[in-house]
A and B are shown apart, each in its own frame.
Chain A
Amino acid sequence: MKVIINGEPRDVPDRLNVEELIEHLGLQGERVAVERNREIVRRADWATTLLREGDELEIVHFVGGGLRGRSRSRFLPNAPQ
């Protein structure tokens, strides 16, 4: 099925839950947070949250930064470009 991950359309296996998606993407063990259709999916709910066709997912992690306001937000669709 087709979902949108970090703004890009992607094909993923049907009936995937969030935990399986994270494994599918090779991100298991990483400190990531997941939003599904703009709602945060708590880690405790990953295994029971089934993805649906057309879901929009944001998967974020941590990068070097302190005062790096220079780079505009790259994960928020409404960010000014």
Chain B
Amino acid sequence: MSTANDVLTVAGHAFRSRLIVGTGKYRSYQVMVEALERSGAEWVTVAVRRVNLNRNEDSLLNYIDPHRYKLLPNTAGCYTVEEAIRTAHLAREALETPFIKLEVIGDEKTLFPDNQATIEAAARLVKEGFVVMPYVTDDLIVAKKLVDVGVAAVMPLAAPIGSGLGIQNYANLRILREQITEVPLIVDAGVGTASDAVIAMELGYDGVLMNTAIAQAENPPLMAEAMRHAIEAGRKAYLAGRIPKKLYATASSPLEGVIGRGMSR
């Protein structure tokens, strides 16, 4: 079976890479550019902030080739429905894209999402024509409500943002995958290293979004490449169908013809 035609499709847009990367927390734009390149990602997230009028800033978008990467604006840093909606409108106006990665944060220490506010903001943004990709906790009921209001994907966290803890609630993520089949599921936040990404993909997730795991690694471009392979390996293992786990051994070599056992024929 070839995986050449295996693509991630969100609201009719197809991506060969199932890795979505953030653009924050890099030591320099140069390091970011190299990491993006080696990640193989086609989709990158960017945040909306006030222009600083008091100093000349080097613009992030000067470093991201718009022909090579699709920009996914986010509402990172928003704590209310109104802030998130306002940010989404500004992003749509500046980037001319209906896609929005919706984040409505509920708590500063954990950066856990305010699920209720996220559902409300998602419902309103969908009505206004946005393609909404919400960041939520790994809660099935919340995910179902989001699907009901018409989101284009659901993005549960694996662990707190930037924590690098990896997948903390394997069972919940599995349940989500089994129960939510209407839209793509993308693990968003908490990945620390390549094996975490492999596990998410082996669970059948459609993609993984990460930022800190790459940007804050000692060698971000190398970690980006590791993540690219991890996503591909996990996806292929999922498609290939793993063997069931068994408690006892099953020999892989034939028993017939082992020397010193009975008569040779």
The chain A residues found within 8 Å of chain B, CB to CB, are 5-8, 10, 25-27, 30-35, 38, 40, 42-43, 58-76, 78-80
- Is the CB–CB distance between A61 and B83 below 8 Å? no
Q: A26 — which chain B residues lie within 8 A by C-beta? A: 56
Q: A76 — which chain B residues lie within 8 A by C-beta? A: 78, 83, 86-87
A43 → B minimal CB distance (Å): 7
> Which residue of chain B has its CB nearest to the CB of A30?
B59
Q: B83 — which chain A residues lie within 8 A by C-beta? A: 73, 76, 78-79
Report if B115 contacts A (CB, 8 A). Answer: no
Report if B224 contacts A (CB, 8 A). Answer: no
> Which residue of chain B has its CB nearest to the CB of A59?
B51
Size of the B side of the interface (Cβ < 8 Å), in residues, is 51
Report if B60 contacts A (CB, 8 A). Answer: yes
- Is the CB–CB distance between B162 and A67 below 8 Å? yes
In the complex, per-residue mask of B45-73: 1 if CB is within 8 Å of any chain A CB, else 0: 11111110100100111000000000101
- Is the CB–CB distance between B78 and A43 below 8 Å? no
Supposing A27-B51, A74-B50 touch, asked if A66 and B93 sit within 8 A by C-beta, the answer is no
B60 → A minimal CB distance (Å): 6
Interface centre among A40, A58, A60 (most CB of B within 10 A): A60
Report if B111 contacts A (CB, 8 A). Answer: yes
Q: B94 contacts which of A61, A66, A73 (Cβ < 8 Å)?
A: A61
If over half of B's interface residues share one DSSP class (helix, strand or loop), that class is named, otherwise mixed; here it is mixed
Report if B138 contacts A (CB, 8 A). Answer: no
Report if B15 contacts A (CB, 8 A). Answer: no
- Is the CB–CB distance between B211 and A40 below 8 Å? no
Q: Given known contacts A60-B51, A75-B50, what 7 new A-B pairs fall within 8 Å (CB)?
A: A26-B56, A30-B59, A32-B94, A62-B61, A64-B25, A67-B103, A79-B79
Q: B53 contacts which of A8, A31, A71, A74 (Cβ < 8 Å)?
A: A8
- 9 CB-based A-B contacts, threshold 8 Å: A6-B50, A59-B51, A60-B48, A62-B47, A62-B91, A63-B48, A64-B60, A74-B49, A75-B48
A57 to B162, CA, bound (A): 33
Q: A58 — which chain B residues lie within 8 A by C-beta? A: 50, 90
Q: A62 contacts which of B32, B48, B86 (Cβ < 8 Å)?
A: B48
- Is the CB–CB distance between A62 and B94 below 8 Å? yes
Which chain B residues in 70-112 approach chain A with CB under 8 Å?
71, 73-74, 76-80, 82-83, 86-87, 89-91, 93-95, 103, 105, 108, 111
A34 to B91, CA, bound (A): 10
A81 → B minimal CB distance (Å): 11
A71 to B50, CA, bound (A): 13
A62 to B52, CA, bound (A): 11
A19 → B minimal CB distance (Å): 14
Q: B161 contacts which of A6, A34, A62, A69 (Cβ < 8 Å)?
A: A69
Supposing A63-B46, A68-B47 touch, asked if A31 and B94 sit within 8 A by C-beta, the answer is yes
A55 to B76, CA, bound (A): 27
- Is the CB–CB distance between B24 and A65 below 8 Å? yes
